Amino acid sequence: MKITLVPLSQTPNEASRVLRWALDLWGDHLPNYSQQDWIDFYSNSTKSNYESWTGKGQELVYIATRGEEVAGTIALVDFDELEEFRHLKPWIAAFIVNPQMRGAGIGTQILALLEDEARSLGIEVLHLWTEDQSAFYLKHGYQIVAHAKLGELEINVMQKELFPYI
Domains (range + CATH), the chain: 3-123 (3.40.630.30)
Write out pLDDT tens, residues 114-131.
Answer: 999 999 999 999 999 998
Per residue in 13-58, pLDDT (tens digit) is 888 888 888 888 877 666 677 888 888 888 888 888 899 998 888 8
Q: Which amino acid is at 162?
A: L
pLDDT at 74 over 80: yes
| 166, pLDDT greater than 50 | no
| Secondary structure (DSSP) of 50-113 | -SS---SS-EEEEEEEETTEEEEEEEEES--S-GGGTTS--EEEEEEE-GGGTTSSHHHHHHHH
Residue 62 CA to residue 74 CA, distance in Å, equals 5
> What is this structure's pTM?
0.90
